[in-house]
Structure 1
Amino acid sequence: MRIWITSVLVDDQEKALEFYTRIGFQLKHDVPTGAHRWLTLVSKEQPEGTELLLEPGEHPAVKPYKDALVADGIPAASFQVSDLNAEYARLKELGVMFTTEPMDAGTVRMAVFDDTCGNLIQLIEMKAPQQ
């Protein structure tokens, strides 16, 4: 068993598509499904890897849930990068707003940004194991 699709609940699919493709993801599927779309993205580094579904967040429970996560600083998703400092600088150059700058956090280095669609997203760089 493996993860095939994971999702982030977004308040606007088109806005989310623009944001996530601007920061480097690529479109995998864009299928109309009535008022919304089956809209998935993949990493350019792993085009056959796990898909990120930009899930419409219209259910009444979504807004209070997302608001509570953001208020508590809890990321909705976590993406791994090989060089956190370089990725942080690249995303800052693109205008991405960070709520947590790169920092050590146990066995990882991490930073958190706002995806402009109601979510905090965590970036993780794995630290080399201590000898």
Structure 2
Amino acid sequence: MKIYVTSVFVDDQDKALRFYTDVLGFVKKHDIPLGAARWLTVVSPEDPDGTELLLEPSGHPAVPPYKTALVEDGIPAASFAVDDVRAEFDRLRELGVRFTQEPLEMGTVTTAVLDDTCGNLIQIVHSQ
């Protein structure tokens, strides 16, 4: 068994697609209309057949309180592996990305947490 699709709830699918592709560097995999929303996924360009991230609309009534609680408690909605957290932090900061946690070394793991502009905190991580 392996993870095929995972998701983050986003306030605006178009805005999320721009952020996740133009800023974070993912590539669009699927964009299928489903009424007012879309089945919209992105993948890593390094693994185009790997796990897809669904940019899922936040329309369900349970989603806004859930997202708010996570953000207020500083809990990331997702975690993405990078080769060098400090380099990625610097690159993203140059692009105007707001971080809620600067790079932090915790033993063999380094993390940082960013705001995806769509209502989520996202962790970037590298483990040695």
Fold in common (TM above 0.5): yes
Aligned to 2:53: 52
**Which deviates further from its counterpart, 100-109 or 1-10?**
100-109
Aligned residues: 127
| 1:82 matched to 2:83 | yes
Aligned to 1:113: 114
Deviations 1:6-25 (A, max 9, x none): 00000110110011011201
RMSD (Å) for aligned C-alpha atoms: 0.8
Instruction: List gaps (5 residues or longer) in structure 2.
Output: none
Aligned to 1:96: 97
Instruction: List gaps (5 residues or longer) in structure 1.
Output: none
- TM norm structure 1: 0.94
Alignment of 1:23-38 (within 5 A): 23-38=24-39
Q: What letter corresponds to residue 40 of structure 1 in structure 2?
A: T
Question: C-alpha displacement at 1:42, in angstroms?
Answer: 0.4
Question: C-alpha displacement at 1:119, in angstroms?
Answer: 0.2
Moved over 4 A (4+): none
- TM norm structure 2: 0.97
**What percent identity do the matched residue pairs reach?**
67
Question: C-alpha displacement at 1:85, in angstroms?
Answer: 1.0
**Which deviates further from its counterpart, 53-62 or 102-111?**
102-111
